[in-house]
Chain A
Amino acid sequence: MAPKPVRMAVDGKEITAAPAGDGCWTLTSDAGIERVWAVGTSERSWVFHDGRVYVLENRASRRGSRGHSISNTLTAPMPATVRTVLVKVGDEVAEGETLVVLEAMKMELPLRAPKAGRVAEIRCAPGELVQPGVTLVELS
């Protein structure tokens, strides 16, 4: 049985969403008929609309991330290989000093200290493949 269209309101405007295939929707409103593609997880949704891409975080995960301090840690922004670690435990570092150099897709990516401090822990080694969000260096 074909899935039923969904009626909803966005900012006071009525929109009817009809499924148009896996991940694709036909939306009808006063603005006309628009085709959108969307996928998502519990944290964020990706939407393709008229040649542009929107990455939207949902409210629940936004609440969860608020207040989380990142200032003591250096994390990987993308999947990458650790090329060099320029500091050792106990080093005093200045804000903005390069601590680790990552390499991804033939590009070097220097990671800098978010603030001044002492290196408390190093959690990566040259040659290691790291995933986004993984802590590489801990400052105290």
Chain B
Amino acid sequence: MFRRVLVANRGEIAIRIIRTCRELGIESVAVYSDADAGAAHVAAADRAIRIGPAAPGESYLKADAIIDAARQSGAEAVHPGYGFLSENAAFAAACADATLVFIGPPADAISRMGSKIEARRLMSGAGVPVVPGEAPKDQTTAALLAAAERVGFPMLVKPSSGGGGIGMREVYKREDAEAAFDAARRDAEGAFGNGTLYVERLVRRPRHVEIQIFADDRDEVVSLFERECSLQRRHQKVIEESPSPAMTPELRQAMSEAAVAAARACGYTNAGTVEFLLDESGEGTRFYFLEMNTRLQVEHPVTEQVLGLDLVRAQLMVAAGQGLPWRQDQLRQRGHAIECRVYAEDPASGFLPQSGPLWLYREPAGPGVRVDSGFREGDTIAVHYDPLIAKLIVSAESRTTALHRLERCLREFPILGIRTNVPFLLALVRHPDVRAGRLDTGLIDREIERLVAESTPADPVPPAVAAAASLADTNRRSPTASPIGDDPWTTLGGWRN
């Protein structure tokens, strides 16, 4: 096993990786930008190295600065976490050149899965179902139109490069297709410098269900089963759970086999996720390959809680050449786990990211409750990075008990000094379709007005809130003093939102 590992990330994922390193007796090295000198992940690590100014491009995304830090610290391996350099094939290759072990898949597996058209071709060849569609070599409007007619309407136009829904367009009628091609091409050229398009059949109200796989360098590939991530806001996952309410043993088996075939087809090692769309329209349920994420996912704790294992430990073992710690027949799902992402964002003002101080930050606790957090009370959320504060993961014996537990935890997760999406998450967890497990990727966007309305403060302000506000003023400095002292019957009022 490695003696020292550099963690090339920040926030909750850096801390989560450092914790497993400590359990394995591995020394952890954190890296930090100037904005993060006092950050929680720096305090959590055994040592820490400054890599540059606050801007991500000059620090966490700067491959040579990170490789220098790894060399300087004597680390033998680099864990990239998620985001930043985690799916950058050039960085994985640069680590290898510097004789550092990149804790993730080989560089060529990352680049193969990075192009959507290439990944699609590879998956079709491996017998993994893909959404019926075409990626015409001839990219003229006439050729695209002919491809669209073969695929059928409604259809989706997508750029080959990039992600995040940029350039994607739904087309319901043939006469709207030409305009959609022009607009998608413009968007794709502007955003990714590559206007190559492909067309595929539009799956209406799909679920997003993904399979966690794990491969080692001894030709073992296992499926760690599914996570359902249908609750998304503009392609950004908000709540993830496992098992999926839509799953049957037969479907799980078929999807697991497809995901393992996908991993084998691209020569994969380490942890990866194969994302699928689930189509429940018409008879039976069909699944289609969406893309492969060649890294540890944000939502990996859901799998850890349901299977009772540590994915980061397995990542370190596989990267160190020790092989997978489990065989397929030892892996079992037990009970239900749900994760929600707590963001510094204000649902009432269009989910605008927020920055500022965490004056008060108290995590919920209790049986089946896990909080992976990147911050402590008194810390400041900086403007430069992703506004994820923490992930709240609950597990319980059934989906219903897990939902009750999640609701209880959200009602006991006070974060003050900065706006967060906690009230929005609570409204989402209480939504009847979420309760019933009737999920699809458009649910949040369709129900957004109702959800935001339910997460705004009650009007008029409840008496308990007015009372607490009056107690708050000097509370931080001196818990015994209150602005009205011990003088009873002081009449309060005049508070406003």
User: Quick one: given A19-B479, A81-B383, are A52 and B423 in contact (CB under 8 Å)?
Assistant: yes
CB of B11, distance to nearest CB on chain A (Å): 13
Chain B interface residues toward A at CB < 8 A: 352-356, 359-360, 362, 383-387, 410-411, 414-417, 419-420, 422-423, 426, 455-458, 461-473, 475-476, 479-480, 482, 484, 486, 488-497
How far is it, in angstroms, between the C-alpha of A36 and the C-alpha of B419 when the chains are bound?
A: 17
A54-B461 CB under 8 A given contacts A6-B471, A39-B416: yes
Whether the Cβ atoms of A52 and B458 lie closer than 8 Å is yes
B362, B410, B484: the one contacting A37 at CB < 8 Å is B362
Task: Check if A22 sits within 8 Å of B464, measured CB to CB.
Answer: no
Q: Are B464 and A7 interface neighbours, CB within 8 A?
A: no
Known: A39-B475, A105-B385, A105-B386. A79 touches B464 (CB 8 A): no
What CA separation (Å) do A123 and B497 show in the bound complex? 31
**Are B464 and A38 in contact (CB-based, < 8 A)?**
no
Flag whether A68 is at the interface (Cβ < 8 A): no
**Pick the contact of B476 from A11, A23, A62 — CB < 8 Å?**
A23
- A27, B467: Cβ atoms under 8 Å? yes
In the assembly, what is the distance between CA of A132 and CA of B63, in Å? 33
List A64-84 residues whose CB lies under 8 Å from chain B: 78-81
A contact face: mostly helix, strand, loop, or mixed: strand
Interface size on A, residues (CB 8 A): 53
Out of A46, A49, A79, which one reaches B462, CB within 8 Å?
Answer: A49
**In angstroms, how far is the closest chain B Cβ from the Cβ of A46?**
4
Identify which of A8, A39, A107 contacts B492 (C-beta below 8 A).
A8
The answer to whether A92 has its CB under 8 Å from any CB of chain B is no
Task: Say yes or no for A40: interface residue by CB 8 A criterion.
Answer: yes
Interchain CA distance A27-B469 in the complex, whole Å: 12
Can you give 20 contacting A-B residue pairs, CB < 8 Å? A6-B484, A8-B490, A23-B475, A25-B468, A36-B465, A36-B467, A37-B468, A38-B475, A40-B473, A41-B473, A45-B470, A47-B472, A49-B468, A51-B426, A53-B422, A54-B461, A56-B495, A58-B495, A59-B494, A107-B353
Q: Are A46 and B360 within 8 A (Cβ)? A: yes
Contact in complex: A45, B472 (CB < 8 Å): yes
* Contact across chains for B356 and A79 when beta carbons are under 8 A apart: yes
Q: Chain B's nearest CB lies how many Å from the CB of A101?
A: 14
Residues on B with C-beta less than 8 A from A54 are: 457, 461, 465, 469, 497
Tell whether, in the assembled complex, residue B467 and residue A15 are in contact, meaning their CB atoms are under 8 Å apart.
yes
A79 touches B479 (CB 8 A): no
Compute the total of residue contacts between A and B using a CB distance below 8 Å: 181
Q: Which residues of A approach B to under 8 Å, CB–CB?
A: 3-4, 6-11, 13, 15, 17, 19, 22-25, 27, 29, 31, 34, 36-42, 45-59, 62, 78-81, 104-107, 109, 129
Beta-carbon contact of A104 and B383 below 8 Å: yes
Top 3 closest A-B pairs, CB basis? A38-B472, A48-B414, A40-B472
Are A27 and B468 neighbours in the complex by a CB distance under 8 Å?
Answer: yes
Q: Given A3-B479, A106-B386, do A47 and B422 touch, yes or no (CB 8 Å)?
A: no
* Cα of A93 to Cα of B431 in the assembled complex, Å: 46
User: In the complex the two chains form, what is the Cα distance from A49 to B315 in whole Å?
Assistant: 41
Tell me which of B356, B417, B471 contacts A17 (CB under 8 A): B471
A53 x B472 contact (CB < 8 A) = no
Question: A21 to nearest B CB, angstroms?
Answer: 9
Give 13 A-B pairs besides A48-B416, A58-B495 with Cβ atoms closer than 8 angstroms: A8-B490, A10-B491, A22-B479, A24-B414, A25-B468, A39-B475, A42-B473, A49-B462, A51-B423, A56-B495, A56-B497, A78-B383, A79-B356
Taken together as a complex, chains A and B put the C-alpha atoms of A91 and B355 apart, in Å, by 32
